[in-house]
Structure 1
Amino acid sequence: MRRTVVLLVLLAAVLLVVADRVVTPLTPVRAAGSALYGTIENAAGSAMRWVGGSSGGDRRLRALEQENAALRADLLAARAQPGAQAPGSARPGAQAPGGAQAGALSGRSDRLDLLAAAVGRHRGVAAHVVGFGRGQSVTVDAGLSAGVARDVTVLNADGLVGRVTWAGPSTATVSLITDAASSVGARMAGSGELGVVTGLPGEGLLRLSLFDPNAPLRAGDEVVTLGSAGARPYVAGVPIGVVTAVESAHGGATRTALVRPAARLSALGLVAVIVPAAVR
């Protein structure tokens, strides 16, 4: 009897997956699953993070990281206004913890502050990666209830992570920039040359294709996002990665290179989802 029940449950699960992928998306079912899964995952994640950062210093650093991610777009938008505080300067009344860890955290925050001119009328929603999906995608513990929607930028303190491709009540799916279907408008940080970055999932790298086949390009050049209309799906000026090898010579049809992502996509933790400030 027990074996029969298990087989029926498995069969029902298979039918649901097939129907969702082949016949028609089961959005209400996925939304219900997101709400349930998100609630459980949030509770478990909070407990694990509390245990993992049991010391006072670790808890303080985690709190500062959470604050930096949650207020990311608010700070960037404010500093983009005339007379705003310069990037990298301390907030009034803010106190930084001492030690090497505090210095590293400050450096990560400073790099994010460099995006000040790129993001306007947007805010950052802090989220943690709580699972890995099919292909090059991850699940984060923030969804529609936090203002997360489809086709918005996801980044961390190092650079671009990807974009949201599905959002439920409490969780969302993020397609990584290394996904084979990923295509991001790019600009060379030094020369300003424009191009497109696509994913190479098997290698964990990216391929850059510049529009000008004779554009200057060498290993070590930094690549940033060009930006999209309305900053969706990608805001401008986010570090994508660094050129590691140039593939084609001058005079060819294209100018291509391999790029190492700025963000460690295999070790993601805290991320910021950039959403319109009007969405609450």
Structure 2
Amino acid sequence: MLKDLGSPTTRRSSPRSAFRSAGEAPLRSVGMPSTVRRRRTVLILVILACFTLIVLDARRSAGSPLEPVREAAASVFGPLESTATSAREPVDDLRDRFAEMDRLKAENERLKQANEDLTRQLTTSDYARSRADELDKLLEVAPKYTMTPARVIGIGGAQSFSHTVTIDAGTADGVRVDMTVMNGVGLVGRVVRTTQGTATVLLIGDRNSTVGGRLNQTMALGFVSGRGDVAGTLDYKLVDPKARPKVGDRIVTWGSRGNAPYVPGVPIGIVTSVTPNAGALGSTATIKPYVDPTRIDTVGVVTGPPARPPRTQLKGRGN
């Protein structure tokens, strides 16, 4: 027991064991900077290698050492890229088609709106031009009569007469029943009903309309009556059964007592055909009116006697 406790071997080994036990930590701590240096060295070498490869590849020479690598990568990734592109193309095409459809739809709407605007402008221009023409024609005949201008604002059905129009002038404008209504080309009809702001006009083409008419060339008198058709066709019968109207003869009003309901000298229409009366003397002429009853807009109501200079007094030769 004394040998074991006091053995030199035991005494010598104990300090070294204690030293190693106490020195293990310092040995490990001394080894860490070496590991860091090795990692830094590897990183530097990798960076240098990459830089070298970049420089070599930038030369783009035929003998570039990266050419085999590039070819190998192209052979591997090329088919994958082509497949991905092929798979993406239908999606891209579909997206492009939707975008094109939206663009075409927007363009179509824009062109449609522009076309509607142009059509509206053209229609308005045509209407304004037509009204201006009618007004010009009315002004040409206005000096012969005292008249009130008016516009047609209604036609037929809603009124008590079969062939009538409503105008926007009434008693407040001096319009009365049995006044002559005309436009720039001829006779329209006569006033049969009035309100303060409107008047109803019976067209000469109505079955209940009869107008005294005179042949413009022979001065022969007759009566013009309507047939009641849409075109406003008229029949003309002469007072003298021996008188014979001819195709192309023009008919004008001969006038009424007190210029009501018709003033004299207003054009009515033109003879288009002549038919002998069956079993009786005389003949009946078909008249095409100058005024188209389906296209009446601006009219004039004759509110006073025809304008004319004073008549010249006739004196005998002995005076």
TM-score per shorter chain, which class? 0.5 to 0.7
Residues 1:233 and 2:261 are matched in the alignment: yes
Identity, % of aligned positions: 40
CA contact (8 A) 1:214 1:250 kept: no
Residues 1:265 and 2:288 are matched in the alignment: no
Q: For residue 159 of structure 1, report the CA deviation from its aligned partner.
A: 0.6
Distance 1:149 1:60, change over 3 A: same
Query: In the alignment, which residue of structure 1 is the partner of 2:273?
Result: 245
CA contact (8 A) 1:128 1:271 kept: yes
Residues 1:155 and 2:178 are matched in the alignment: no
CA distance in 2, matches of 1:257, 1:71: 29
Q: Secondary structure of the residue that 1:230 maps to in structure 2?
A: helix
Q: Which amino acid aligns with 1:131?
A: G
Please list the CA deviations of residues 74-102 of structure 1 after superposition, one character each: whole Å capped at 9, or x if unmatched: x22xxxxxxxxxxxxxxxxxxxxxxxxxx
CA distance in 1, matches of 2:123, 2:229: 34
Q: Which amino acid aligns with 1:154?
A: V
How many residues in Structure 1 have an aligned counterpart in Structure 2?
181
Query: Which one has the bigger helix percentage?
Result: 2
Give the TM-score taking structure 2 as reference length.
Answer: 0.51
Give the TM-score taking structure 1 as reference length.
Answer: 0.58
- Kindly report which structure 2 residues correspond to 1:115-194, keeping only aligned pairs within 5 A, or say none: 119=145, 123-133=146-156, 134-194=161-221
CA distance in 2, matches of 1:173, 1:52: 31
CA distance in 1, matches of 2:123, 2:238: 44
Please list the CA deviations of residues 198-231 of structure 1 after superposition, one character each: whole Å capped at 9, or x if unmatched: 1101363111010111112121111110101121
Q: For residue 68 of structure 1, report the CA deviation from its aligned partner.
A: 6.3
RMSD between superposed Cα atoms in Å: 2.8
CA distance in 2, matches of 1:67, 1:244: 28
Which structure 2 residue ranges, 5 or more long, are not aligned?
1-120, 306-319
Which structure 1 residue ranges, 5 or more long, are not aligned?
1-50, 77-118
CA distance in 1, matches of 2:166, 2:172: 15
Query: In the alignment, which residue of structure 1 is the partner of 2:237?
Result: 209
CA contact (8 A) 1:71 1:124 kept: no
CA contact (8 A) 1:211 1:255 kept: no
CA contact (8 A) 2:153 2:166 kept: yes
Q: For residue 252 of structure 1, report the CA deviation from its aligned partner.
A: 3.2
Higher relative contact order, chain-length normalized (CA < 8 Å, sep 6+): 1
CA contact (8 A) 1:72 1:124 kept: no
Q: Which amino acid aligns with 1:142?
A: A
Q: Secondary structure of the residue that 1:265 maps to in structure 2?
A: coil
Q: For residue 61 of structure 1, report the CA deviation from its aligned partner.
A: 7.8
Query: In the alignment, which residue of structure 2 is the partner of 1:197?
Result: 224
CA distance in 1, matches of 2:216, 2:259: 18
Distance 1:209 1:71, change over 3 A: closer
